Chain A
Amino acid sequence: MESTHLISIEHLKKHFAMGSGKFTALNGIELTFEKGEFAGIIGPSGSGKTTLLNIIGSLDVPSEGKAIVMGQSVGDLSARDAAMLRKTKLGFIFQSYNLLHTHTVYENVEFPLLLLGVEAELRKQMVKDALEWVGLTDKTNSRPAQLSGGECQRVAIARAMVKKPEIVLADEPTANLDAENSHHILQTMENLNREFKTTFIFATHDEKVISYIRRKIFLVDGKVAKDELITKS
């Protein structure tokens, strides 16, 4: 059956080996996402948010059930195809930024384009654009150590967005940021979502993030407890 959703998750379960037994982190998830969503998976620490995001991001595989991302079933992909999916269609933003410290801002943002083999001239333009989106054109040659946390996360956003992916997965992107910086990056991501119709899926328990998202998916004990759409005025 060909899925018509951007992402569709069916009867998804994820177990982890734990001592002699197993621990069930996700226990029967049913979800679909569409293009252009700005959604958040909300839940306390340990509720399985990261696990779910990782499976959508093809970094992990379901134990049971299915996660179909852009028509491709994550559990059935070869390592090579999964890498290809991530390289071309997905962007990641992490809580701890995960920037390359030995690289400049420019080089960090350029990295996904090098992987894609984008030709130099175009690459330059794309990096420039991405740095403009996040308002970092003046920090092009700085290194991460010289930046504030907020600036680092903006570099990470530029890096995730530079290749204009279909889906951006952001795992607690504001957890290390103060209120002002959090709002700043959330506005940035909201703008990008509007402009490029990029789907954003957050994992969070931060009220500030929750105030921006347009769909709240509450995760409790590895299950979707509530899934609500917000229609803002």
Chain B
Amino acid sequence: MMAIKLALRNLVGAGLRTWLNVIVLSLAFVVIIWHKGILDGWDRQARTDIIHWEAGGGQYWQKDYDPYDPFTLNDSHSRVSGILEEMVNKGTLTPVLITQGTIYPSGRMQSILVKGIDPKQKIVAIPSSQLDTASDAIPAIIGTGMASSARLKKGDIVTLRWRDRNGAFDAGDIIIAGVFKTTVPSVDGSQIWIPLDRLQKMMMMPGEATILVSKQGTKTLPEVDGWRVKNLDFLLSDMDKIIKSKTAGGMILWGILMMLALLAIFDTQVLAIFRRQKEIGMYIAMGMTKRQVVTLFTVEGAMHSVLATLLGAIYGIPLLGLQAIKGISFPMNGSDYGISMAERLYPYYGLKLIIITVLIVMLTTTIVSYWPARKIAKMKPTDALRGKFNDKVFAKRIASR
């Protein structure tokens, strides 16, 4: 208690140097919390969006389906029967049939995925009900990304060419029945959504699907022959990887800031102990034990982190808090990153994140404060009083400035 009181007096009395250290340290705090908060916010948003638009509560993939291999795609389909059919009828699964096709918007040729979806499904956010129209042309809906890349808009008619199950080419007109806005690029880029039964007919694959999406919140999917269960962990793993790599990038910046702050504090401590020998001698003459003096100097150094926490809170809470409420607008398109990204990101600051950061900073600050303060234990009080204590580490440190 006494050490804290004395340390605070000494530290605040030391003026500018203290505040410089405290400011850098508080920046380290705020930057890491801010950065992590954005990533966590992004992570949460991307997760809910992907679940919403694409992943549901997990998926069944036809055993040959590999989204990264376009050559096997046309063979990756099976009949939806048995337990799967029951689940579809109950509304807990919705089948999607996927194949390759080519469209010819304004005379150009563009290779795309054609995805058949049940217009009545309520499992993913794709506005499939817009496909529920009776027309000669095949109704299709596309995302805004696809719309801009193919320069298509609602009402446009464009030719689609595809191959049926026997490999025979066929073609027909599609009409854009709707354009939807999504933050999930994997349901938007280079693809069109058409009614499932139309696609099944076109491909001559009645009752077949490539994947089945389960309802959000589904706990477990039973194993089914010929199909592979893909749980959420798997479906979100690509995004997790991207977020992780972004986190690592941020940690480097944080590490540099922390190093700067810790070095400054270490330096301040070394210098303080060298310069304040007479004071140390006085403390001992007044009856403090060396251990008490070491504690005093350690607390004094560690107190930087307490002040930094307070300072960081003073400007950090309003700043970051406002962002968490108002969100940050991102001008870039999420699909440039190949990952779901909303136009407005709401950073998420978890209590755990804040507590862990504060603890790490306090612990490291205490360690770099203790390290030089240890030297006091080696001082002879008479040398300290005469200002004659010397030490190799000190000499090096002092000479280098």
Contact = CB atoms under 8 A, between A and B. Distances in A.
Interface stretch (A39-47, A79-87, A124-132, A213-221): A79-87
A84 B287 contact: yes
A15 interface: no
A194 interface: no
B14 interface: yes
A88 B382 contact: no
A112 interface: yes
Contact of B286 (A54, A115, A117): A115
Interface stretch (B208-216, B237-245, B274-282, B336-344): B274-282
Interface in A87-103: 87-88, 90, 92, 94, 96, 98, 100-103
Contacts of A60: 380-382
B150 interface: no
Nearest to B281: A98
Question: Size range of the interface on B?
Answer: 20 to 34
Contacts of B12: 102
A103 B381 contact: no
A100 B10 contact: yes
Contact of A98 (B2, B282, B381): B282
Interface secondary structure of B, over-half rule: helix
A183 to B, nearest CB: 25
B13 interface: yes
B284 interface: yes
Contacts of B285: 57, 59, 86, 90, 92
A84 B385 CA distance: 19
A48 to B, nearest CB: 12
A88 B381 contact: no
A25 to B, nearest CB: 11
Nearest to B282: A98
B288 A115 contact: yes
**Which of A88, A98, A107, A116 has the most chain B CB atoms inside 10 A of its CB?**
A98
A103 B279 CA distance: 12
Contacts of A114: 2, 5-6
A111 interface: yes
Given A80-B289, A102-B10, A94 B382 contact: no
A171 B152 CA distance: 95
Contacts of A90: 285, 287
A114 B6 CA distance: 10
A107 B9 contact: yes
B381 A112 contact: no
Given A101-B13, A114-B6, A83 B287 contact: yes
Given A94-B385, A101-B13, A83 B288 contact: yes
Nearest to A99: B282
List 5 A-B pairs, minimum CB-CB distance, nearest first: A102-B13, A87-B287, A98-B282, A86-B287, A92-B285
26 contacts: A54-B381, A54-B385, A57-B285, A59-B285, A59-B381, A59-B385, A60-B382, A83-B287, A84-B287, A85-B287, A86-B285, A87-B286, A87-B287, A88-B287, A90-B285, A92-B285, A96-B278, A98-B279, A98-B281, A98-B282, A100-B10, A101-B13, A102-B13, A114-B2, A115-B2, A117-B2
Interface of B: 2, 5-6, 9-10, 12-14, 278-279, 281-282, 284-290, 380-382, 385
